[in-house]
Amino acid sequence: MKALLLTKEYPPHVYGGAGVHVTYLAKELAKLISLEVRCFGGQSLMDGNLSVRGFDLEEIMSCPKQLKSPIDAARRGVDMNAAGINADLVHCHSWYTHLGGIMAKLLYGIPLIITVHSLEPLRPWKREQLGGGYDFSLWVERQALELADAIIAVSHETKKDILSLFPVSEKKVVVIHNGIDLEEYCATKDPVLLQKWGINSEEPYLLFVGRITRQKGIIHLVRAFQKLQLGFQIVLCAGSPDTPEIAQEIEAAIAAAQEERPGIIWIRNMVERHEVIALYSGAAVFVCPSIYEPFGIINLEAMACSVPVVASAVGGIKEVVVDGVTGFLVAVEQQQESPFEPLNPDQFSSDLAAKINQLIADPALRARMGAAGRERAEHHFSWEMIAKKTERLYANVLNA
């Protein structure tokens, strides 16, 4: 069996959960089958059963800025097919590769499998980023999901969303969770590295890691700062803003918070993996205030590093974080007309602050929840197990 993975993100160009997923899934799948990865960039690798080929393009200069990303994705999808395909099936990750997957199925007559890391209808704020490109992403995602031979949902909540939004058979949708490399993601103290970022390793700190986007809810966390007790640091590892507008909004909000409260440290760039592991490992509490999260791999990363989590009770997060055991879940009721905005933002921020304060004030509770989080990661989310489930799905599709 040979499988072809199509992905926007692959090392060294990884900035989100989908890229993390593909990186580790490919590593484990290549131990079981022949695997080719085609991605965005200039990558080139041959390593046993694994081959990686990046597809790079000259920058598009003439079209509107908002449309560059979707047009770029379409062009790479065409190029990926023009290069010839000799795989038994194609497996797409994120809407950026869906056009390429559709073409591969129709042109080469091979099954199409799609892993849903997020769903475009549930991310309406992307119109702010893509303009008419958002309509294209909605269209191509719908075509791909309706055409797919199998769909992998990264959580049961995501499966429910797929079935409610698209006319696809429930038999076609399989839940296979994200995973974690338990050898790599483990408690690894590095006070020297923390000092590099201006963090005092002798004092507790709250940690946020994520892109600056409406989805991640960082603005609600910043608004919670005024309700947090004093005596600990706040570290925001937040970069890659979706738009200049949200960048300016967060910049102003964090600047105002820093004037009112000491110890707020903003790491503006997305750091290397070993650095983020050190940030997790030194944290007293990890916080994930996302408004939409199909899985939320960052919570699993923090748990694997033995850190308790305070997270929104949305999407797949509820299948990762066990409320009262590995951390706390905070309810967030969303507006119907603006799904990325809580119905009561002040209440949500207050509830986040209350759970953070509770954990910061109780080191023994933090230790118990951190240990429980590590144990849960070990027992339920290994990449080896996830790769075997994926390989079995491939075999079932080919034998159907």
From the list 194, 354, 196, the residue with the least C-alpha distance to 283 is 194
The residue range of the domain holding 175 is: 2-179+382-399
Structure confidence at residue 340 (pLDDT): 63
- Does residue 12 have a cis bond before it (omega within 30 degrees)? yes
Q: Per-10-residue mean pLDDT for the chain, 400 residues long?
A: 97 87 95 98 95 90 87 96 98 97 98 95 85 95 98 94 96 95 94 95 96 89 95 93 87 94 91 93 97 90 98 94 98 69 86 98 98 95 93 96
* Three-class SS state of 86: coil
395 inside domain: yes
Q: How many domains does the chain contain in total?
A: 2
144 inside domain: yes
196 and 163 share one domain: no
84 and 215 share one domain: no
CB 339 within 8 A of CB 291: yes
Helix (H) or strand (E) run with residue 344 in it: none
120-to-25, 116, 123, 130, 183 alpha-carbon distances in Å: 23, 10, 5, 12, 33
CATH of residue 95: 3.40.50.2000
Structure confidence at residue 356 (pLDDT): 98
Number of neighbours of residue 227 by Cβ within 10 angstroms:
15
195 and 170 share one domain: no
225 and 260 share one domain: yes
From the list 176, 44, 181, 197, the residue with the least C-alpha distance to 114 is 176
185 inside domain: no
Q: Is the pTM of this model over 0.85?
A: no
218 and 310 share one domain: yes
Query: Tokens for 221?
Result: 């966390």
360 and 238 share one domain: yes
160 and 223 share one domain: no
220 and 329 share one domain: yes
254 and 229 share one domain: yes
371 and 386 share one domain: no
Helix (H) or strand (E) run with residue 231 in it: none
Query: Tokens for 77?
Result: 């999808």
Structure confidence at residue 270 (pLDDT): 75
* Three-class SS state of 113: strand
186 inside domain: no
The overall longest dimension of the chain from CA atoms, in Å, is 63
290 and 333 share one domain: yes
Cα-based torsion angle of the residue sequence 217, 254, 308, 304 in order, rounded to the nearest 10 degrees: 80
169 and 217 share one domain: no
CA dihedral (210, 123, 222, 309) positive or negative: negative
Q: What residue type is 162 in one-letter code?
A: I
